[in-house]
Every structure is written in C-alpha cells, then in structure tokens.
Amino acid sequence: MKNYEIEDIKSFMNELLVNEKYDSFYLYEIRLKTSLDYYISGKINKEFYDTEEEIEELYDYVSWGEIKHTVFELIKGNRLPISFKVILMFNRENIERIIEMNNLPIRPEDVSNLSMNIYYEDEKLLVTTGSSLKIFTLDKTLEHLWDDTVGKYYI
C-alpha cells in the first residue's frame, strides 16, 4: 500500500472525470458529500436484466467509463464537494497482464482486486493503493508492482 498526495487536483480530476485514463477500471463504490450525501455501489444488479445473454456479458462491477458522467454531474457546480471517496479496481484483463508480464507465481483468480482509493477532503486529494488476495502469501511482489504501476501511469 502506498499513499500519494495529489498536488494538481484540477488536472487529476480532469483525468478522472473527463478523459479516458481510468475508464477501464471498475467502480467499487463512491461516497460523495455535497449539499446531499450520495452513495453509489458499483456492484451490478444482475436481476435487473432479462436474458442470460445480457447477464453473461456483465462483470460484477460497472466500469468507471460507464458511470463517470453520472458522478461528474453530481460533482460539478459552483462549489467544491465537502468530501468524496472513490474506490476503483483494476480490471481483470489488466490483472492477468501484470501477472503474466512479470512471471509472478500467482494465478489471476487468486487476486481479489488491485485498487485505488481516491479521497478528497479539506482541499486535499489523496490516492492510496491497495491489493487483496484470496490466498495467503508472504510474497509482496504483486503489491509492489501495483504501487509502482499507479505511481508511473495513474498519478
């Protein structure tokens, strides 16, 4: 786990909410405090869909690219939010890629998630990395690779 304090908040938020840099991530959840409190779970309600074909095409969580416009509409305005927390998860294909490219001794299905926690409060923006495995291992290579990946490409 690594913490990053974002100096250029406006630029980072533009990348997050307008550009496509984070679109392939999944949204785990968002908590937003403006004039009202908002909570959005990124977990897809599969019972909403009618056919097995529709359900088979879904992952468990919505992609950030599909939901960010809704979040942007909640955030934009003349005033900054009081606070917000966005938890994004690296998509399954990229988890597989990072494991394969680095010849890690772990199976992709053993990784629960690689996440970025984005937290804004008191005019400070922090990004914290996180990794969660379904198995126990003392090997922290994947965690360190994820920290480095976020630092190089997403901050």
Over the chain (155 residues), the average pLDDT of each successive run of 10 is 93 94 96 94 84 65 94 87 96 93 92 96 95 90 92 85
Tally of structural domains, the chain: 1
Beta carbons of 70 and 103 less than 8 angstroms apart = no
Query: How far, in Å, CA of 153 to CA of 32, rounded?
Result: 25
pLDDT at 51: 66
The structure tokens 């599909």 sit at 66
| pTM of the shown model | 0.90
- 3-class DSSP assignment, residue 102: coil
pLDDT at 14: 93
pLDDT at 54: 57
Which residues span the domain enclosing 56? 3-154
Which positions ≥6 away from 14 have C-beta within 8 Å?
none
Query: How far, in Å, CA of 110 to CA of 122, rounded?
Result: 37
Beta carbons of 118 and 100 less than 8 angstroms apart = no
